[in-house]
């Protein structure tokens, strides 16, 4: 299951809630009538009764949540949905990347991918190097030219100094 949004605070008196959206497709994932699983599971599933997008924020009402008190009880709940089979090239879900073996272009074992972090400038892979150090690898084609899900690996062509134990070239 993929994290779609996290429920924030109540908005108004009729059970509307503000969401922190984690999906790049909120129009479809948060459509009226969508049924979302929850974390913790005992709270859900929740069905979206109404949705609106105002001033760069998403707001929802759920079936059975009719007032502010009931809405406040959902604060912090994570909304989950099944992955969508996309045929988009160069698009991976975080759970698909976690656990992949990291190799250099010549096949040397560098470590394992622990996950991905979405930073303001760009996404980075979290690499647990064979030395045990944790390194953030810019997730760009120049540094990560190959993501081979069926083969269970990523190729990392790291510039000098990025990985533990490597030094940048003199004069740079």
pLDDT at 74 over 70: yes
Residue 165 lies in a domain: no
- The encoded tokens of residue 33 equal 């009538």
Give the max Cα distance, the chain: 66
End-to-end CA distance of the chain: 45
- The CA angle 104-106-109, to the nearest 5 degrees, is 45
Transcribe 12-48 into DSSP letters: TTTTEEEEEE--S-HHHHT-TT-EEEEESGGG--EEE
pLDDT at 171 over 80: no
Whether residue 105 is found in the same domain as residue 65? no
Residue 109 lies in a domain: yes
Whether residue 70 is found in the same domain as residue 15? yes
pLDDT tens, residue by residue, 130-159: 989 999 999 888 999 998 888 999 999 988
Phi, psi of 62 (to 5 degrees): -105, 150
Q: Which CATH number covers residue 44?
A: 2.40.30.60
Whether residue 134 is found in the same domain as residue 64? no
Q: Which CATH number covers residue 121?
A: 2.30.30.240
Residue 172 lies in a domain: no
pLDDT tier, 165 (very low <50, low <70, confident <90, very high otherwise): low
Mean pLDDT, residues 1-18: 85
Whether residue 14 is found in the same domain as residue 76? yes
pLDDT tens, residue by residue, 78-126: 998 877 665 555 667 677 788 899 999 999 999 999 988 877 777 888 9
Quote the pLDDT of residue 154. Answer: 92
> What H or E segment, with its residue span, contains residue 81?
strand 78-81
Q: What are the CA-CA distances from residue 118 to residues 25, 34, 94, 122 (Å)?
A: 16, 26, 10, 6
Quote the pLDDT of residue 91. Answer: 64
Q: Are 35 and 9 in contact (CB under 8 A)?
A: no
- The encoded tokens of residue 76 equal 């912090």
What global pTM score does this model have?
A: 0.55
How many domains would you assign to the chain? 2
β-bridge mates for residue 3, sequence order: 80
Quote the pLDDT of residue 85. Answer: 61
The sign of the CA dihedral 64, 67, 72, 73 is negative
Whether residue 77 is found in the same domain as residue 22? yes
Structural domain containing residue 65? 2-81
Quote the pLDDT of residue 90. Answer: 61
pLDDT tens, residue by residue, 13-59: 888 898 988 777 788 888 899 899 888 888 879 999 999 888 888 99
Residues in the chain, overall count? 172
């Amino acid at each position: 299951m993929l994290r779609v949004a996290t429920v924030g605070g109540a908005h108004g008196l009729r059970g509307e809630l503000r969401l922190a959206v984690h999906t790049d497709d909120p129009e479809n994932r948060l459509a009226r009538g969508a049924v979302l699983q929850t974390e913790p599971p005992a709270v859900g599933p929740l069905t979206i009764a109404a949705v609106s997008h105002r001033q760069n924020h998403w707001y929802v009402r759920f079936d059975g949540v009719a007032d502010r008190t009931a809405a406040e009880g959902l604060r912090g709940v994570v909304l989950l949905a099944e992955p969508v089979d996309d045929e988009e090239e160069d698009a991976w879900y975080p759970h698909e990347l976690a656990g992949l073996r990291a190799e250099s272009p010549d096949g040397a074992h560098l470590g394992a991918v622990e996950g991905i972090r979405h930073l303001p400038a760009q996404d980075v892979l979290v690499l647990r190097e064979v030395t045990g150090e944790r390194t953030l690898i810019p997730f760009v084609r120049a540094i990560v030219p190959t993501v081979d899900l069926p083969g269970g690996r990523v190729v990392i062509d790291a510039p000098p100094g990025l990985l533990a134990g490597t030094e940048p070239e003199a004069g740079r």
